[in-house]
Structures are given as structure tokens and as C-alpha cells.
Amino acid sequence: QVQLRESGPGLVKPSETLSLTCTVSRGSISSHYWSWIRQPPGKGLEWIGYVYYSGTSNYNPSLESRVTISLDTPKNQFSLKLSYVTAADTAVYYCASADYYDSGDYHLLYFQHWGQGTLVTVSS
């Protein structure tokens, strides 16, 4: 089955850009919706956004002005960039693959495979 692994700095300074990469193995990036989800310490899950292999992307409106998710198809990777970070962006960041279907009447989306997660702390 698809395996995902996050990588990137564990410490980012306030006002700088958080950059993470997710490497996909045992599966092709030319399918599914590739997503980022985060979880602040002791809190619940928050969807950040996703990108489809066609280039279509969708972001959480609360983060949209600061987020970019992009694909690197030859490397079977996708990445997250979150700019102008503050302490409120401290969280475990998960990458995940999603299955998504839009019938026009309803949306079906679930996160089938998850990476192990990586803690990113925003601090000077």
C-alpha cells in the first residue's frame, strides 16, 4: 500500500516560511489527492489543503493566503510551504493521500494513507 514520509526542519523562526516535503512510495503520485493536515500539541486535526496531480489545488480559507502545496512528479514528492509563521503554527504536520469524488450533489473525500507526522516548532 501507499507509504508516505514527511521531512523538513523541525524548528522555524517566526515570520519565516515553513517548508516540508512528503515522499510517496509504493504508489504513483499521478493519482489521488495529496494533502497536508496539522495537529497542534494536545489539540485536534486541521486540514491545510490538497493538490491533485493535474495541478488543481484547494486550501483551507483560514490559511489560503499563506499556503502553497505543489507536486514534484519525477521525484514522487509533494511539498508544503506556509509563510509568515507564528507560534500558532506550531504543530505536528501530516501528509496524507485522499480519495475524492464530487458527484455534483455531494462530496466524498477521505484520507486513506497517512505519514507518521513531523513536529514543527515555531520559535526564535
Partner 1 sequence: QSLLTQPPSASGTPGQRVIISCSGSSSNIGSNTANWYQQVPGAAPKLLIYTDNQRPSGVPDRFSGSKSGTSASLAISGLHSDDEADYYCATWDASLNGPVFGGGTKLTV
Q: Give the type of residue at 76.
A: N
* Residue 80, all three cell numbers: 508544503
What is the smallest separation between the CB atom of 52 and partner 1, expressed in angstroms?
13
Helix then strand count (H, E) for the chain reads 0, 11
Interface characters, 42-81, with partner 1 (x: CB under 8 A): --xxxx-xx-------xxxx--------------------
The correct pick among 25, 56, 88, 106 for binding partner 1 (CB under 8 A) is: 106
From the list 10-18, 21-29, 77-85, 104-112, the region that binds partner 1 by CB under 8 A is 104-112
CB of 117 within 8 A of CB of 6? yes
Q: Which stretch binds partner 1 (CB under 8 A): 9-17, 23-31, 39-47, 72-80?
A: 39-47
Q: What is the DSSP string of 59-96?
A: E-TTTTTTEEEEEEGGGTEEEEEE-S--GGG-EEEEEE
Closest CA to 48 of 102, 116, 99, 98: 98
CB of 77 to partner 1, least distance (A): 18
Closer to partner 1 by Cβ: residue 72 or 99: 99
Q: Which residues are near partner 1 by CB under 8 A?
A: 44-47, 49-50, 58-61, 94, 98-99, 105-112, 114-117
